[in-house]
Amino acid sequence: MIAPELILPPTRSIGTAAASFAATAVVLLLTFALVFDPAVTPTERVVVALLGALFAGTLGAVGAALLRGHGALMLDAAGKRLGLGVTRHSDTWWLPLARVRGLAVVPQSSPGRDTVERWLLVVGLVGRPDVILAESEDRNAIIGIQERLAARLTVTELPEGRASEGTPTFSARSERFAVSRGAALQGLLATFGASLIAVGVISFSEVQREPVVGFIFAPILAVMGIALLAVPVVKRLATETLAFDGLRWTHAYTFARWRWSERTVRAVTPRFRLRLLGMRGGMLELVGDDGVLIIAAGATAHSRIDLEAVAAIPSRFTGE
């Protein structure tokens, strides 16, 4: 079996990975120093060892992920499909080449403004939103990437600014969905959050011996931990709602009777596009006349509603 050809290599953050590994080493050194400190009780040594190992392991995992890279573009000629890498090599969204219409350079400007702020290189798909492959303030750089990819992939170079097939007719309705399991960074955020909460609680319990740490740093660490832990909890338990009333689109998160983070944009003919954000997964953007809605953020090829399903969300409003 012929292995897929690597068209664009994965993006590696070597500097950030080195900083992460350095932080891992510092945490391990502090953990060893505390564990072998004669003033530390046996119970405290066990707690320090567990928390230190948890922190070091998480930081090491982040460094390894950054060094491993993300966002590769692959061509499987034998299977006639195009692979869009997301968070890692095994997290790849495979698209049949028959669905690829071509590559286009699209100008991007803020809603209500005519000034071009960035240029996007997008791949146009049949029956699905455009997928952003690259973006830059330099138009010539984006055009150069388009020409090289079009030659390597043997696809059409679409006219500038025209990647979409047309403007479909959307029906007024409401849809619910959830990224849930498999969302990007869920494990790392949960580990970091739980660790910070544990450190905050332990620090507060030692307020009599270390009042500065107990009163100042403990609450900050606990709040940061709760905030980080809330992200995967919300992704796992909450659902997202996207509604269209014929004129406006509204997106919100819902859990039981609670509804929050509601945003509305005006768009009779919205522009949908998929953006892949490396380790942060992918998301669907709805570009309206007065703003942009972020939908299904953190989706991957392995999440409960994967990137293929996320790309199909607009079709729910067209009856396709």
What is the token pair recorded at 241?
Answer: 């709602």
What are the tens digits of pLDDT across the range 80-129? 889 999 988 889 999 998 898 889 888 887 665 667 778 888 998 888 89
What is the token pair recorded at 234?
Answer: 């919300």
Total count of residues recorded for the chain: 320
What are the tens digits of pLDDT across the range 126-158? 888 999 988 888 888 888 888 888 888 888 777
Measure the CA–CA gap between 5 and 149, rounded to whole angstroms.
13
Q: Could you tell me where the beta strands, DSSP code E, fall in the chain?
A: 5-8, 73-76, 81-85, 92-96, 100-108, 118-125, 128-136, 173-177, 239-244, 248-255, 258-266, 271-276, 282-287, 292-299
Measure the CA–CA gap between 180 and 178, rounded to whole angstroms.
5
With 70 as the cut, is the pLDDT of residue 212 above it?
no
With 90 as the cut, is the pLDDT of residue 175 above it?
yes
The proportion of the chain whose per-residue pLDDT surpasses 90, expressed as a percent, equals 31
Measure the CA–CA gap between 214 and 206, rounded to whole angstroms.
6
Model pLDDT, residue 80? 87
Measure the CA–CA gap between 314 and 216, rounded to whole angstroms.
48
Other C-beta atoms closer than 10 Å to the C-beta of 124 total 22
